[in-house]
């Protein structure tokens, strides 16, 4: 039947493509998959005619059950069931349940099928943004990565119940003056707290009940090679673990209100917080929410923030229009928010590098905070 054939062919194409995407290692692999969709002879959507028939049948069975209960007391209906020796209540219940199962199943089936193409399109665009911007996985256990980050920064010491790195990817940003290697991390952490509530029982007596509440949070960060500044923390949230021993305020009331600046010495703070740096740091609020900067002793900058949309990409087309989608993926998917943060970081490096020495100084021996 043409209906079954259409769905079976599209299903096969999607299954093969999903497997190919899971193995994709370059933009060319993604383009090959999209090319298969461009060559596909037929509509790129499932035919839901039968599913709608099933759904209608389900509704009819439910309607029949309602009607049965409505007319169950009439003589004709009662006599009919009496002759068949069937309990009308049990019969109605069985038919109604069957109708609900058929209607719900057909809706779930249609939803799952209609989601497959957009989901695959999104996956292709996501991978394309990674390939286009040179992003790759770290290739090491997340607990090992977290331990390494803990040894350098205080910003990952969050969550009194649990914490884990959900995402860790690496890349290199090529700026006008230099390339900045970086890693992107998403930390998920959970805070546990006890909540006391006063309840009144039926006798009018009050008692205090204690229950445990788990608050889930995510914190995002970029760790960037930054050998020009060490031993400085600039934070805008309440993460006091980032702080060094020596606080310093600046001549800018706006900066003092927005940030807490600390350093491992007053001299380091004074050298770091030049007027141009003050204004540059204030500009960070235009692109990030609740940003913290932590310059470790081994020449790394941890720029953490609350924004979850750093890897957001905006594609115009999907696999439902394969030729346009092919051209879009071929051109490469940009990550504009990530790039704006990296450009900001590159500009910060320009403010703090040595204008007479372009090569980055070798990392110093790391000291635990």
Partner 1 sequence: MDITLILSAVIAVVIIIAGFSIYNGIIGGHNRVQRAWSDVLVYERQKTKVLDQLQKVLADFMVFEASLLEKIAGLRSAVHALPAGADGNALTKVETASRDLMGGLRIAFEAYPDLKASEAANNMMREIAEQQENVGAAITIYNRNVELFNNSIEMFPGSVVNGLFNKKTRVTPFSDAEASQSFSYTPNI
Residue 173 Cβ vs partner 1, minimum distance, rounded to whole Å: 20
**Does the footprint of partner 1 cover residue 359 (CB under 8 A)?**
no
List of residues 6+ apart from 248 with CB closer than 8 A: 261, 262, 263, 266, 269, 270, 273
Q: Compute the chain's Rg from CA coordinates.
A: 30
Q: Which of residues 332-351 bind partner 1 (CB under 8 A)?
A: 350-351
Residue 361 Cβ vs partner 1, minimum distance, rounded to whole Å: 16
Q: Which of 73, 83, 197, 355 binds partner 1 (CB under 8 A)?
A: 355
Residue 282 Cβ vs partner 1, minimum distance, rounded to whole Å: 4
**Mask: binding to partner 1, 18-37, rule CB under 8 A, as x and -?**
--------------------
Residue 310 Cβ vs partner 1, minimum distance, rounded to whole Å: 21
Residue of 37, 113, 107, 102 lying closest to 63 (CA atoms): 102
Considering beta carbons, is residue 273 or 303 the nearer one to partner 1?
273
Considering beta carbons, is residue 279 or 327 the nearer one to partner 1?
279
**DSSP secondary structure of 3-19:** HHHHHHHHHHHHHHHHH
Considering beta carbons, is residue 95 or 287 the nearer one to partner 1?
287
**Does the footprint of partner 1 cover residue 356 (CB under 8 A)?**
yes
Considering beta carbons, is residue 83 or 357 the nearer one to partner 1?
357
Polymer length in residues for the chain: 369
Size, binding site for partner 1 by CB under 8 A:
20
Residue 165 Cβ vs partner 1, minimum distance, rounded to whole Å: 32
Residue 349 Cβ vs partner 1, minimum distance, rounded to whole Å: 12
Considering beta carbons, is residue 35 or 274 the nearer one to partner 1?
274
Q: How far apart are CA 108 and CA 191, in angstroms?
A: 36
Residue 249 Cβ vs partner 1, minimum distance, rounded to whole Å: 10
Tokens 């940009």 sit at which residue? 334
Q: How far apart are CA 177 and CA 166, in angstroms?
A: 32
Considering beta carbons, is residue 50 or 290 the nearer one to partner 1?
290
Considering beta carbons, is residue 126 or 280 the nearer one to partner 1?
280
Residue 293 Cβ vs partner 1, minimum distance, rounded to whole Å: 16
Query: Which run of H or of E encompasses 319?
Result: none
Q: How far apart are CA 89 and CA 189, in angstroms?
A: 53
Q: DSSP 3-state helix, strand, coil percentages of the chain (rounded to 5)?
A: 50, 20, 30
Considering beta carbons, is residue 75 or 356 the nearer one to partner 1?
356
Considering beta carbons, is residue 328 or 353 the nearer one to partner 1?
353
125-156 burial, b at 16+ Cβ within 10 Å, e below that, comes to bebbbbbbbebeebeeeeeebbeebeebbbbb
Q: How far apart are CA 3 and CA 48, in angstroms?
A: 9
Residue 286 Cβ vs partner 1, minimum distance, rounded to whole Å: 7
Judge whether 117 and 320 are in contact, CB under 8 Å: yes
Q: Which of residues 229-288 bind partner 1 (CB under 8 A)?
A: 250-254, 274-280, 282-283, 285-286
Q: How far apart are CA 296 and CA 76, in angstroms?
A: 87
List contacts with partner 1 (CB under 8 A): 250-254, 274-280, 282-283, 285-286, 350-351, 355-356
């Amino acid at each position: 039947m043409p209906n079954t054939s259409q769905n079976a062919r599209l299903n096969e194409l999607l299954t093969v493509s999903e497997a190919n995407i899971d193995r994709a290692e370059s933009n060319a692999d993604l383009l090959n998959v999209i090319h298969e969709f461009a060559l596909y002879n037929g509509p790129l959507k499932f035919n839901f005619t039968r599913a709608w028939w099933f759904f209608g049948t389900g509704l009819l069975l439910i309607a029949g059950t309602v009607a049965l209960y409505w007319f169950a007391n009439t003589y004709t209906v009662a006599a009919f069931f009496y002759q068949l020796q069937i309990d009308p209540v049990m019969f109605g219940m069985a038919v109604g349940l069957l109708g609900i199962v058929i209607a719900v199943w057909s809706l779930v089936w249609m939803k799952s099928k209609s989601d497959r193409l957009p989901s695959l399109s999104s996956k292709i665009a996501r991978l394309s943004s990674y390939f286009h911007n040179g992003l790759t996985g770290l290739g090491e256990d997340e607990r090992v990565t977290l331990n390494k980050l803990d040894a350098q920064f205080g910003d990952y010491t969050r969550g009194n119940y649990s914490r884990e790195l959900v995402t860790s990817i690496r890349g290199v940003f090529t700026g006008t003056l230099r390339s900045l290697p970086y890693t992107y991390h998403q930390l998920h952490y959970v805070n546990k707290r006890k909540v006391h509530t006063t309840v009144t029982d039926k006798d009018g007596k009050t008692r205090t009940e204690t229950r445990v509440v788990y608050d889930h949070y995510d914190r995002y960060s970029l760790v960037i090679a930054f050998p020009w500044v060490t031993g400085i923390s600039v934070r805008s949230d309440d993460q006091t673990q980032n702080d060094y021993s020596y606080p310093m305020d600046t001549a800018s009331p706006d900066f003092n209100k927005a940030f807490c600046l600390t350093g491992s010495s007053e001299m380091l703070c004074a050298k770091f917080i030049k007027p141009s740096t003050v204004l540059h740091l204030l500009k960070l609020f235009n692109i990030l929410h609740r940003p913290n900067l932590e310059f470790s002793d081994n020449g790394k900058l941890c720029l953490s923030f609350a924004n979850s949309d750093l890897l957001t990409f905006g594609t115009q087309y999907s696999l439902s229009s394969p030729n346009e989608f092919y051209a879009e993926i071929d051109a490469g998917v940009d990550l504009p928010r990530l790039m704006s943060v990296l450009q900001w970081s590159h500009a910060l490096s320009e403010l703090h590098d040595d204008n007479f020495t372009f090569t980055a100084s070798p990392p110093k021996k790391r000291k635990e905070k």
